[in-house]
Structure 1
Amino acid sequence: MKKPASSLTSTALRLLATREHSRQELRRKLAARADEGDDVEAVLDRMAETGLQSDARFAESYVRSRAGRLGSARIRRELGDRGVTEELASTALGEVLVEDELTRARSVWKKKFGQPPVDAKDWARQARFLQSRGFSAELIRKLLKDPVHEFVEG
């Protein structure tokens, strides 16, 4: 039995009411609920035309929610996985991330470890953690290189 387009529209509205979705996410979720012959793209087009769905708004919201825990590289990759263009991701990262990457990395590091690495093994463990959070190797080296001076200020 074919669902009317209004059913897909109401599903889309319900999904967008809970949080922002990228077009790709919304397409995937609607396609899972649609019957053969349903025009998911038409519903998506209508949502975008009316301003109910926006990849730019999704990207800004996503960056805001992840910025305290993740580095720019990981956020950029996750946005790409969700169908956000590189241009929109860069714009969102530039607008939302007012703190610099080093400050955010230091904050993430402090929450997890709180004290400088005591030996090479501990240094590697802390570096792997920061790298898994999407911080660059150069930034990690800078952060963990001189722990006495780096962490006194922050």
Structure 2
Amino acid sequence: MAFAKLSLKGRALKLLSQREHSRKELESKLSSHVEEGDDLNAILDELETKNFISPERVAASIVHRRASRMGTQRVVQELRSKGLDDTLIKATAAELQSTEFERAMSVWKSKFGGKEPASTPQEKAKQMRFLAARGFSGDVVRRVLKSAGQAEEGDLE
């Protein structure tokens, strides 16, 4: 059974039906399929006008998928890679920073919670590197390890 070749707009709609894509992502994914007579920018403009492409939804989707496991810095990095507007990125980052400590603590507990708090400098450095690699700020990483140590000391009393 032979399928008809998808038009550029059809390809864009197919991609958008799978997940939210930013305009920049769609441009890069569709640019290799542009044929003579196709106007990619006009198609993307039309999709944006009809609200099929929404930077706010892209940002919300990324936050929903990544925020529970990643720090603000990593989420912001991903938003920038999608080509989103700086104003939207800054607003999203401000939202994320209000919950960063709780998210970092949750990630730390899921990875190291069953263990004692870091007893050696090497173990502490390992835990700090893990959280930093996830995009949590240095201040938050220090607060998580400090509060984890205090919680364990409180349990012993």
Question: Which TM class, normalised by the smaller chain length?
Answer: 0.7 to 0.9
Name the CA distance, whole Å, in 2 between partners of 1:119 and 1:36.
64
Unaligned runs of 5+ in 1: 1-5
Q: TM-score, normalised by structure 2?
A: 0.84
Matched, 1:88 2:88: yes
Name the CA distance, whole Å, in 1 between partners of 2:37 and 2:91.
36
Unaligned runs of 5+ in 2: 1-5
Q: How many residues align?
A: 147
Residue in 2 aligned with 1:100?
A: 99
Q: How does 1:43-58 map to 2 (within 5 A)?
A: 43-58=43-58
Does the CA contact (< 8 Å) of 1:60 and 1:93 recur in 2? Answer: no
Name the CA distance, whole Å, in 2 between partners of 1:76 and 1:61.
13
The residue type equivalent to 1:103 in the other structure is: E
SS of residue matched to 2:7: helix
Residue in 2 aligned with 1:133?
A: 134
Residue in 1 aligned with 2:59?
A: 59
Q: TM-score, normalised by structure 1?
A: 0.86
Name the CA distance, whole Å, in 2 between partners of 1:148 and 1:44.
52
Deviates more, 1:83-92 or 1:62-71: 83-92
Runs of 4+ off more than 3 Å:
92-95, 150-153
Residue in 2 aligned with 1:148?
A: 149
Distance change (3 Å), C-alpha of 1:146 and 1:17: closer
Does the CA contact (< 8 Å) of 2:20 and 2:57 recur in 1? Answer: yes
Deviation readout 1:27-63 (Å, 9 max, x if unpaired): 1111122225521111110110000111111111111
Distance change (3 Å), C-alpha of 1:143 and 1:38: same
Name the CA distance, whole Å, in 2 between partners of 1:40 and 1:118.
58
Q: How does 1:100-119 map to 2 (within 5 A)?
A: 100-114=99-113, 115=115, 116-119=117-120
Matched, 1:28 2:28: yes
Residue in 1 aligned with 2:3?
A: none
Does the CA contact (< 8 Å) of 2:72 and 2:97 recur in 1? Answer: no
Q: What is the CA distance between 1:99 and its match in structure 2?
A: 6.3
Distance change (3 Å), C-alpha of 1:137 and 1:36: farther
User: RMSD of the TM alignment (CA)?
Assistant: 2.1
Name the CA distance, whole Å, in 2 between partners of 1:26 and 1:124.
40
User: Percent sequence identity over matched residues?
Assistant: 41
Name the CA distance, whole Å, in 2 between partners of 1:52 and 1:43.
11
Deviates more, 1:6-15 or 1:129-138: 6-15
Residue in 1 aligned with 2:76?
A: 76
Distance change (3 Å), C-alpha of 1:146 and 1:55: closer
